[in-house]
Amino acid sequence: MKALLMEEYKKLKYTDFPDPKIEGSHDLLVRIKAVAICGSDVHGFDGSTGRRKPPIVMGHEAAGEIIETGSDVHHFRKGDRITFDSTISCGECYYCSNGQVNLCDHRMVLGVSCDEYRRHGCFAEYVVIPERIAVLLPQGLSYEEAACTEPVGVAAHAIRNTPIAMNDTVAVVGSGLIGNLAIQLLKISVSGKIIALDTDPSRREVAKSFGADAVLDPADPELDKKIKELTGGRGADRVIEAVGATAPIRTAISIVRKGGSVTLVGNVSPSVDIPLQAVVSREIRLQGSCAISGEYPIALDLMGRKRIDVKPLISAKAPLSEGEIWMNKLYNREGNLLKVVLLP
């Protein structure tokens, strides 16, 4: 098969690669129809995350068609249109038994190579996955849209991790892909105000189009005043931080009210500097949110019923053979791209 192999950091090669084979009786062989470039792939492109060590076929946001099933697969059949979780959990450890598959002790992520494991991913024509992570696509949902299910699930999991009460004001720091999906999800699930913050004016406009009641620049010297005006002088009840770096996390902590909570879903930096005294003295709850834990059916249902629209977030579609070109565009922040979908 053909695959997009990262031979070394910042170098992708469209090349021949061994066909994956079904090894377990519950495995599925999937022909990839669409695969999206995730921000984590972009950050792994230069080795900064330590989780994309070459050589590796990256890619974990994908959808495709089943072309072969293991001998004990009974819930899927050849020809089924599916997408699948990026996390391969063991299904047996303490966390899997308690429904926290994202925290699995033996967790592997498609397209990731680190000190613990190497699992080739979906920047390829085919991939083998266990059936337990697969989900059927709703009728009418395209493969390109379905390749964006993973980020919708990530945003949904972050919201489920956030203790939002009726009429709470929720701020979203970062209006990239996850931030804008969170805004769409909040719009259909909460009754209070939604505030979007981003330094990029064009991304603020996107956030507004998806339903944010107010859009603000975190670099605005009057940010604190504007937040107070929008929140009865208190600050946002809940904040979802969707970048994962020191500056936006500090912004999130600065705009939340006393006793409020900040959900950290962004994961760009391995470590950050936080204003500890502000967190402690104002009794702010910091909540991490990792990947997805059962939100795929919810995400697909909402997408299938057009309650969540990912089409405006797909900036480009291109052949897999042009993957290096588009990875470089994303890495160099050319054209303010949000999501690029590759077609094997």
In order, the DSSP letters of 200-266 are -HHHHHHHHHTT-SEEE-TT-TTHHHHHHHHTTTS-EEEEEE-S-SHHHHHHHHHHEEEEEEEEE--
pLDDT tens for each residue of 230-284: 999 999 999 999 999 999 999 999 999 999 999 999 987 888 999 999 999 999 9
Q: Which two tokens stand for residue 322?
A: 């042009």
Q: Which amino acid is at 173?
A: V
Amino acid at 223: L
Which residues lie closer than 8 Å to 129 by C-beta, 6 or more apart?
27, 28, 30, 84, 88, 110
Per the DSSP assignment, residues forming a β-bridge with 288 are: 264
Contact (Cβ atoms closer than 8 angstroms) between residue 9 and residue 45: yes
What is 2-152+292-343's CATH topology? Quinone Oxidoreductase; Chain A, domain 1 (3.90.180)
Whole-angstrom CA distances from 64 to 29, 125, 142, 151, 326 are 10, 10, 10, 17, 21
Residues in the chain: 344
The residues pairing with 68 across neighbouring beta strands, listed in sequence order, are 29
4 close to 323: Cβ distance less than 8 angstroms: yes
3-state helix, strand, coil split of the chain in percent (to 5) is 30, 30, 40
Interval 57-86: pLDDT, tens: 999 999 999 999 999 999 999 999 999 999
- How do beta strands 56-57 and 2-8 pair? antiparallel
Rg (alpha carbons) of the chain, rounded to whole number: 20
| Segments in the chain below pLDDT 50 | none
Structure tokens at 79: 């020809």
**Residue 146: left if φ>0, alpha if ψ -120 to 50, beta else—which one?**
alpha
Helices 149-160 and 177-187, packing angle to 10 deg? 60
Strands 236-241 and 170-173: parallel
Range(s) for CATH 3.90.180.10 in the chain? 2-152+292-343
Topology of 162-288 in CATH?
A: Rossmann fold (3.40.50)
Looking only at the bridges linking them, the beta strands covering 339-343 and 27-36 are antiparallel
Give the residue range(s) of CATH 3.40.50.720 domains in the chain.
162-288
C-alpha to C-alpha distance for 50 and 254, rounded to whole angstroms: 30
Cα-based angle 251, 252, 254 (whole degrees, multiple of 5): 65
The strands making up 236-241's β-sheet, listed across from edge to edge, are: 214-216, 194-197, 170-173, 236-241, 256-264, 285-288
- At 267 the pLDDT is 85
Cβ contact 113:56 at 8 Å? yes
pLDDT at position 230:
98
* Nearest CA-CA partner of 320 in 147, 83, 153, 79: 147
pTM of this structure: 0.95
In this structure, what token pair is assigned to residue 91?
Answer: 């299904």
